Chain A
Amino acid sequence: MATNPRPQQQLAVWNDPQAVPYVHIERVTKRFGDFVAVNSVSLKIYKKELFCLLGGSGCGKTTLLRMLAGFEEPTSGKLFIDGVDMTGIPPYERPVNMMFQSYALFPHMTVEQNVAFGLKQDGLPKDEIATRVDDMLKLVRLQQFGKRKPHQLSGGQRQRVALARSLVKRPKLLLLDEPLGALDKKLREHTQFELVNLQEQLGVTFVVVTHDQEEAMTLSSRIGVMNQGEIIQVGTPKDIYEYPSSKFVAEFIGNVNMFEGRLIEDEPDHVRIDSPELGGTIYVDHGVSSAPEAVVSAAIRPEKINISVERPNQTDNVVQGTVKEIAYMGDMSVYLVQLASNKMVRITQPNTYRHAEGSITWDQTVYLSWHPSSPVVLSE
């Protein structure tokens, strides 16, 4: 596997070998008949993290979450929460609460009764339940809606009731299954930030399942990318975006241009890749650990490619092409440029001033160039 060295990371809890994980998933496998939903997953999640499990549908992320909640038992492997082995502990005895994708609000109870339900199970005194429900409804700004039934609420309000109900017991660990999935785009963006604020304010550890990479990028302290029951890569949003460890991750998170080629120079401080697809060589200003002459892919993000009419003043990392499509998106423009090999390259350029795209039109010959630090070399 090609690994790309990266700048010195700030010291985060997950880089501290002394840190004790709050949630420890140890080689957990879950089979449903012949189908392997989760395949030998190991993961450490630390206190006060907002950890996102990201993946397409059927990748096993929800099954993993349900095992943490106690609705499914692992076929093999162990789950520890706060150092306690969770094997055989039913959901109602776990120090965990979950917010369901469908919200699962009790339709025959009012908002207040829904939020109070968990506290009643603990046998708390009535006045304490009342104050805590009140505080919680205040926190999610639903004080006036306490007497309503769930079906009398909007989607966003129901989402906040579900959140309040799962937080009112002050769990140390909150599991959220696609918490924003049912909301429309504007509300979703707004709620994302609310969720992060709430998490920081309460100091609860969040494990969020989502298929939305943008949501994962905005919310998380770290992301675990899952595919076919396995964790492919774990890292901060920046890690995952800038240093994907595989083609799958590079393509799953954001857009990317892949150029296949052969390593023709492999030095500790730089490599050169000959890519017939590109019709030139790619110079990368860092070494990679890979077999010489290996077939690799260079991944370059669309926003890291510069487009110009004049040939830029650099010898490496320049290629000529023809503009085939221009999509004006307001804040930026997307160009699709065809290379001599017929390969299409996607480039995004911010419209930093009005008519920024003005000089480039359809079928024009342009030069594409990028900084030697931009390509990520991937071998799988």
Chain B
Amino acid sequence: MSARAEAPRRHRHSAGVQLILDFLNRLPPYRWTQSRLVRWGITGRTAVTAVPYLWLLLFFLVPFIIVLKIAFSEARIGMPPYAPLLTWIDGSVAQVNLQLKNFANMFQDSLYAKAYLNSIKVAAVSTLFCLLIGYPMAYAIARAESKWRHILLMLVILPFWTSFLLRVYAWIGILKNNGLINNFLMWTGLIDEPIVMLQTDFAIYVGIVYSYLPFMILPLYSNLEKMDLTLLEAAADLGARPFKTFMTITLPLSLPGIVAGSMLVFIPAVGEFVIPELLGPSDSLMIGKVLWQVFFTKRDWPAASAVAIALLLLLVIPIVLLQRAQAAEARGAHR
């Protein structure tokens, strides 16, 4: 076969890249390695896609399997504080010691169910407030003049530049009895006694809504920003007033953004530990705190692992929903 017939298979490269490739192709070691790799089915494309898979395997799947293993082990005093799953008797017979009691225990002790339910309630309410606050903000940014848009987006992202922990601590200074809000209200004379806000459920909501608001705004913004504005003109042209246009066109079309933002807030909020610990009442029942106590106070690694696995399963459902929404959005973008 002539060289010309092979030409279409080659990718187009810039002149410089082509020069380097031509040079490499003349070196026998390069050609030998390349032909071997291709024979094993490893091309440049598979090598590139392998990197993220390898990353996920190493840092997500392997730790998950370790936690799963611990969840099925029996607690014991020692280091590590759990019994191995697999023991060898006489060096020939393997004995598997699989414990389900860590999971069974969660059903028997109503504390866990209450903690899960309360966490879901707190996360759901926080998500709703994030949506109510974040939607108008995302809308305003998306419709702002383009020179302002980047500045406004920057302001949304700016808090990430300081430590999350510091920002939650700052809220203590704002909410406490002689904090910013109470001092100001007393100074104006609106109240005579400080309002107790710190170490209440209210403070938990404030902390979560504040911390996760950017995760709501950003996906909503990216959705609203790419919306075809002639659709709104078309609705107005057909007689719809601005509010009606919003309800019938903008809102339904931004649904994928709403779902994506809500999931990004809801999922981490369910397992939130720092915010209820620092801002909430000491008896606040959230699964993140329960997990911390079981792990560090009771030092019961298997029970803590079981709690974590159950939490994970609980969150898989919204994650699947999130992926569906994103897939729908991707399909919409291709139209």
By a beta-carbon cutoff of 8 Å, the part of chain A in contact with chain B is: 69-71, 90-93, 96-98, 100, 102, 104-108, 117-118, 121-122, 150-151, 165-166, 169
Contact = CB atoms under 8 A, between A and B. Distances in A.
A244 to B, nearest CB: 34
A104 B228 contact: yes
B328 to A, nearest CB: 11
Contacts of B235: 106, 117
B147 to A, nearest CB: 14
Contacts of B236: 70-71, 90-92
Interface stretch (B13-21, B28-36, B239-247): B239-247
A116 to B, nearest CB: 10
A108 B240 contact: no
B172 interface: no
A93 B240 CA distance: 9
Contacts of A117: 235, 238, 240, 248
Interface in B237-266: 237-241, 244, 248-249, 252-253
B249 A106 contact: yes
B113 interface: no
Given A92-B239, A104-B231, 12 more contacts: A69-B233, A71-B233, A91-B233, A92-B237, A92-B240, A104-B234, A107-B231, A118-B238, A121-B238, A121-B240, A169-B238, A169-B239
Contacts of B248: 117
B177 to A, nearest CB: 50
Interface string B212-241: 000000000000000010110111111111
B332 interface: yes
A110 to B, nearest CB: 13
A93 B242 CA distance: 12
A187 B81 CA distance: 77
22 contacts: A70-B236, A92-B238, A92-B239, A92-B241, A93-B239, A97-B237, A97-B238, A98-B233, A102-B230, A104-B228, A104-B233, A104-B234, A106-B234, A106-B249, A107-B231, A117-B240, A117-B248, A118-B238, A121-B238, A121-B244, A151-B335, A169-B238
Nearest to B253: A108
Contacts of B253: 107-108
A206 to B, nearest CB: 15
A256 to B, nearest CB: 37
A91 B237 contact: yes
B335 A100 contact: no
Given A97-B238, A118-B239, A121-B244, A107 B332 contact: yes
B74 to A, nearest CB: 54
Contacts of B234: 98, 100, 104-106, 165
Contacts of A70: 236-237
A250 B228 CA distance: 38
Interface of B: 228, 230-231, 233-241, 244, 248-249, 252-253, 332, 335
A102 B229 CA distance: 11
A90 B243 CA distance: 14
A19 to B, nearest CB: 28
A100 B244 contact: no
Contacts of A71: 233, 236
B233 A100 contact: yes
A122 B239 contact: yes
A122 to B, nearest CB: 6
Contacts of A104: 228, 230-231, 233-234
A121 B235 CA distance: 9
Contacts of A169: 238-239
A108 B249 CA distance: 8
B201 to A, nearest CB: 38
B271 to A, nearest CB: 34
A41 B233 CA distance: 24
A118 to B, nearest CB: 4
Contact of A98 (B231, B237, B332, B335): B237
Nearest to B238: A118
Nearest to A101: B230
B251 to A, nearest CB: 10
A39 B241 CA distance: 30
Nearest to B244: A121
A237 to B, nearest CB: 28
A256 B335 CA distance: 42
A69 B230 contact: no
Contacts of B241: 92
A240 B248 CA distance: 45
A178 B233 CA distance: 16
A148 B273 CA distance: 48
A240 to B, nearest CB: 30
A100 B230 contact: yes
Contacts of A166: 237
Contacts of A105: 234
B249 to A, nearest CB: 6
B240 A106 contact: no
A111 B231 CA distance: 15
A259 to B, nearest CB: 46
Nearest to B230: A104
A150 B249 CA distance: 15
A100 B235 CA distance: 11
A96 B233 CA distance: 13
Contacts of B252: 108
A121 B239 contact: yes
Contacts of B238: 92, 97, 117-118, 121, 165, 169
Of A104, A107, A108, most B-chain CB atoms within 10 Å: A104
A79 to B, nearest CB: 15
Nearest to A122: B239
B237 to A, nearest CB: 5
Of A96, A108, A165, most B-chain CB atoms within 10 Å: A108
A106 B231 contact: yes
A71 B236 CA distance: 9
A118 B253 CA distance: 18
Contacts of B240: 92, 117, 121
B288 to A, nearest CB: 37
A102 B335 CA distance: 13
Given A107-B253, A121-B244, A102 B228 contact: yes
